[in-house]
Amino acid sequence: MTATARQIPDRLTSPAARALKSWESLLLVVAVAIFLLNTMASPYFLDPWNLSDATFNFTEKAMIAFAMAMLIVAGEIDLSVGAIIALASTAMGMAMSLGAGTPLIVLAGLGTGLLCGAFNGALVAGLGLPSIVVTIGTMSLFRGISYIVLGDTAFTGYPAGFAWFGQGYVFWVITVELVIFTFAAVVFGTLLHRTSFGRMVYAIGNNPVAARFSGIRVDRIRFILFLLTGLMSGVAAVCLTSRLGSTRPSIAAGFELEVVTIVVLGGVSILGGSGTILGVVLAAIVMGLVTFGLGLLNVPGIVMSIVVGALLIGVIAIPRLISKLRT
């Protein structure tokens, strides 16, 4: 409309310059530092087989963390993921005891995960209930069902082929779980950062009302995110059950908080609207390295949880403190 339209530049800072100052770069530095510390602290750390074992500290949790990251970016949360694992694992045990083979057992696990996710999603997206309340409820509900089915007993005796998921190696020291983790990271990274769906997730997390007023089907996307989180919990249930070789109702107890810890450590705002999958990947590795390093030094589990808690608070508080001191 005006004759002299002024040119507005696309960007003022290049993506590279932005990346350098990002949370992810900081996490990378932390990860390298912990890696070096571990190398100095224990002569057993740099053994390839030991390192391979160390990946089990984070692979299962991180698979869920990718889906959880998208959910938290959208401003929601799912605290029932540990309980979904318990229920999915129980379903797998039941399938096994009915004589199902490995494929059907896996399907039972994934299907249960999806159903649980759909249940959460229906309550949150369909009825408009707050996700934190819904999933605290389903956290008790899902695990409660496992307890009713199993009581003090456990499912054991999974078929030999089923052990592949949690105990198998694809090549040399590369575990099946590590491959699933990597694949999931790529898929979720692409979904969140390279697709329209991911863009809408960010929009919803920043302002769900304005997102709706922009023609986005907000509830549908929320539902899909719960579905994905349920599915990834099912995948984690398959891996974990396979690795342990048994199902007890207490399986994956406390997983939900560790998953949320990884997501938040990865730089995803707990208020929604920002964060990256790369950050979550790095955070998972940092967590894995810390617990593994402390394990090599024979640090007891309680101290370990203190260290992890302090790490989370420190990493989140320090940048905030620095910016406060500057002003």
Partner 1 sequence: MQPDPVLSLRGIVKTFPGVRALDGVRLDLFPGQVTALIGENGAGKSTIVKVLTGIYQPDGGQILLDGQPVTFPDAQSAHCAGVTAIHQETVLFDELTVAENIFIGHAPRTRWGLIDRRAMRARAEKILRGIGADIPAGAKLRDLGIASRHLVAIARALSVDARVVIMDEPTAALSHKEIAELYELVETLKRQGKAILFISHKFDEIFRIADRWTVFRDGTFVGEGEMAGTEEAELVRLMVGRSVDQIYPKRPAQIGDPVLTVAGYSHPTEFEDITFTLHAGEILGFYGLVGAGRSEVMQALFGITRPSKGACRIDGQVRVLRSTAQAVDAGIVYVPEDRGAQGAVKGLPIFQNVTLPSLARTGRAGFLRLAEEFKLARDYTQRLDLRAASLDQDIALLSGGNQQKVVIAKWLATRPRVIILDEPTKGIDIGSKAAVHDFMSELAGQGLAVIMVSSEIPEVLGMSDRVIVMREGRIAGEFAGDRMTPENLVRAAVGIDRKEAA
In the three-class reduction of DSSP (H, G, I as helix; E, B as strand; rest coil), residue 2 is classed as coil
The region of 5-13, 159-167, 295-303, 315-323 touching partner 1 under the rule CB under 8 A is 5-13
Q: Do the beta carbons of residue 191 and residue 197 sit within 8 Å?
A: yes
Q: Dump the DSSP string for 148-188.
A: HHHTT--EE---GGGGHHHH-EEETTEEHHHHHHHHHHHHH
Parallel, antiparallel or unpaired: strands 155-156 and 246-247: antiparallel
CB nearer partner 1, residue 28 or residue 212: 212
CA distances to 103, 142, 171 from 109, rounded to whole Å, are 10, 13, 26
Q: Do the beta carbons of residue 86 and residue 139 sit within 8 Å?
A: no
Phi-psi region of 298 (alpha: psi -120 to 50; beta: other; left: phi over 0): left
Nearest distance in Å: CB 271, partner 1: 10
CB nearer partner 1, residue 91 or residue 227: 227
Residue of 285, 291, 279 whose CA lies nearest to 316: 279
The first and second tokens of residue 177, run together, are 């779980």
CB nearer partner 1, residue 8 or residue 325: 8
Residues that contact partner 1, how many (by CB under 8 A): 33
CB nearer partner 1, residue 21 or residue 194: 194
Nearest distance in Å: CB 208, partner 1: 9
Cβ neighbors of 20 (< 8 A, separation 6 or more) are none
Q: Under the criterion CB under 8 A, does residue 151 sit at the interface with partner 1?
A: no
Which x/- pattern, by CB under 8 A, does the window 188-227 give for partner 1?
------xxxxxxx-xx-xxx-xxxxxxxxx----------
Nearest distance in Å: CB 216, partner 1: 7
Q: Under the criterion CB under 8 A, does residue 273 sit at the interface with partner 1?
A: yes
Nearest distance in Å: CB 167, partner 1: 36
Nearest distance in Å: CB 301, partner 1: 39
The region of 10-18, 22-30, 147-155, 162-170 touching partner 1 under the rule CB under 8 A is 10-18
- Provide the residue type at 263 as one letter: V
Binding residues for partner 1 (CB under 8 A):
1-2, 5-12, 194-200, 202-203, 205-207, 209-217, 273-274
